[in-house]
A and B are shown apart, each in its own frame.
Chain A
Amino acid sequence: ETGVTQSPTHLIKTRGQQVTLRCSSQSGHNTVSWYQQALGQGPQFIFQYYREEENGRGNFPPRFSGLQFPNYSSELNVNALELDDSALYLCASRAAEGARSTEAFFGQGTRLTVV
């Protein structure tokens, strides 16, 4: 167990709908990153939050957005769902201060299916 929990574990949505995925980071970790893993692919970086502010973003459109809360938990929101958004969404947390960082610990993921 990594101490990073994601909810829900599985989700089915219809094209055009909106979805919110949640991540509870490990105690003491102030940085949360989200990744999309399509079937048969490696995880792709979506964005990262450090102390409630986004400080990194991958090549994903603006309909992918997020939040980090004061307790460092996080949400990933996806608007106007497309079939290609079907994937495993992974959350990772770590502790980062300046140039120092622990390794990332991953949650079990949320499997999103868009139909």
Chain B
Amino acid sequence: AQSVTQLDSHVSVSEGTPVLLRCNYSSSYSPSLFWYVQHPNKGLQLLLKYTSAATLVKGINGFEAEFKKSETSFHLTKPSAHMSDAAEYFCVVSDRSGYSTLTFGKGTMLLVSP
């Protein structure tokens, strides 16, 4: 079984300040981990993925995440928030097989103020 816990339902930052969205996972297998972003009334867009290569993963729009097996964490960070980053972010876990399904966290809403 696999599960994801996103530790904050809402995160508020000011434009230009760092962003930290926290995620812990549980998986019976060596997991693949993803962060997806969802803007209002839009589908899901892949930000970045971890699939057993480098533990520090760089994604689009300046986001990155670090896989820490000892802490079962995959936190998402960005050095400087932009207004356009305001959206809902989902941490997702999948086992490594080709038949695996995705298990989503409940999401973190990122609010960015001027």
Q: Interface residues, chain A, CB within 8 Å of chain B?
A: 2, 31, 33, 35, 41-45, 48, 50, 55-56, 58, 90, 92, 96-101, 103-109
Known: A42-B90, A43-B44, A90-B44. A101 touches B100 (CB 8 A): yes
Query: A96 to B43, Cβ gap below 8 A?
Result: no
Cα-based distance from A43 to B90 in the complex (angstroms): 9
Query: A96 to B106, Cβ gap below 8 A?
Result: no
Known: A41-B106, A43-B90, A90-B43. A33 touches B101 (CB 8 A): yes
B9 closest partner in A (C-beta): A40
Which among B42, B97, B101, B107 is the interface contact of A42 at CB below 8 angstroms? B107
Q: Indicate if B114 sits at the interface (CB-CB under 8 A).
A: no
Query: B98 to A103, Cβ gap below 8 A?
Result: no
Cα-based distance from A109 to B98 in the complex (angstroms): 23
Query: B105 to A42, Cβ gap below 8 A?
Result: yes
A contact residues around B98 at 8 Å (CB): 31, 96-101
Interface SS majority for chain B: loop
Question: In the complex, which range does the number of interface residues on chain B fall in?
Answer: 20 to 34
Return A72 CB to nearest CB of chain B, in Å. Answer: 15
Query: A44 to B104, Cβ gap below 8 A?
Result: yes
Against A, the Cβ 8 Å flags (1 = close, 0 = not) of B84-114 are 0000001000001111111111110000000
B contact residues around A92 at 8 Å (CB): 44, 102
Cα-based distance from A38 to B44 in the complex (angstroms): 14
Q: Could you list 6 examples of A-B contacts with CB < 8 Å? A: A41-B106, A42-B104, A42-B105, A45-B102, A92-B102, A108-B43
Which among A44, A50, A105 is the interface contact of B99 at CB below 8 angstroms? A50
A contact residues around B97 at 8 Å (CB): 99, 101
B99 closest partner in A (C-beta): A55
Q: Indicate if B34 sits at the interface (CB-CB under 8 A).
A: yes
Which among A31, A43, A96, A105 is the interface contact of B104 at CB below 8 angstroms? A43
Cα-based distance from A97 to B97 in the complex (angstroms): 9
Within B15-67, which residues are at the interface with A (CB < 8 Å)? 34, 36, 42-46, 49
Query: A45 to B101, Cβ gap below 8 A?
Result: yes
Return A112 CB to nearest CB of chain B, in Å. Answer: 14
Query: B43 to A33, Cβ gap below 8 A?
Result: no
